Amino acid sequence: MKKEYFVQYSDQSIINSFNFPEDKFVSITVGISDIKHDLIISLVRKMFGLPVFFVLDSMLCRHGKETLIKNKIPFYEHSPDGAIIKVDSVEKLSHVSGLAEELVSNGLSVFIFHGEGLSEQDLIPSRQWNKPIEFNNVDINKVDTFVDVYEVGFTIFSKSNLLNSPEKIPHYIPNHYLLDINSSDI
């Protein structure tokens, strides 16, 4: 049986949870109750291509770090348990997507950035309990698309005409997920 998902323009509270200029980015939320490994790989391959950057705010104690080291994947450690990984090969994408799936299934967020001229040091997140998540060092003009992946779906913030409406997003979702049209802005 196919897992259902919905696609909607993001609620203002989601938009406000990040410090990104609203006038430059369209924000679309996709709700999926069961994120499988192939979803993240499919999204990256179909939406962006490589390279992309994965920002892991937390890696579940040392498990995530050990996974990256074991698979010889270089990463930039931005906090005691956070990492930024430039994914520029299909092999890296497979390993990092698997780790990302594990993290989101445990209630953590994973951020994916696509754009020209980005570097690991640009993407260090700043999180305070009473403020939106900020990426203070990133030149917003270099970011084409930013995706926040979490336990029950993901939110796309994009300047791309390919991703600027809910009608366009189902083309990027694997076929074994079923669009819930009644709950979507389509």
DSSP 165: S
CA–CA distance, 74 with 120 (Å, rounded to integer):
11
What DSSP string runs through 52-72? Answer: EEEEES--TTTHHHHHHHHTT
Q: What is the tens place of the pLDDT at every residue in 155-181?
A: 999 999 999 999 999 999 988 899 999
Both structure tokens of 25: 């980015």
pLDDT beyond 80 at 132: no
Whether the Cβ atoms of residue 120 and residue 74 lie closer than 8 Å to each other:
no
Q: Residues of 159-186 as b/e, b for ≥16 C-beta within 10 angstroms?
A: beeebeebebbbebbeeebebeeeebeb
Domain regions of the chain by residue span = 3-183
CA–CA distance, 154 with 29 (Å, rounded to integer):
6
Both structure tokens of 19: 């410090």
Q: What is the tens place of the pLDDT at every residue in 57-90?
A: 887 667 788 889 999 999 998 887 789 999 999 9
Which residue type is seen at 5? Y
Task: With H, G, I as helix, E, B as strand and everything else as coil, classify residue 87.
Answer: strand
The pTM of the full predicted model, rounded to 2 decimals, is 0.92
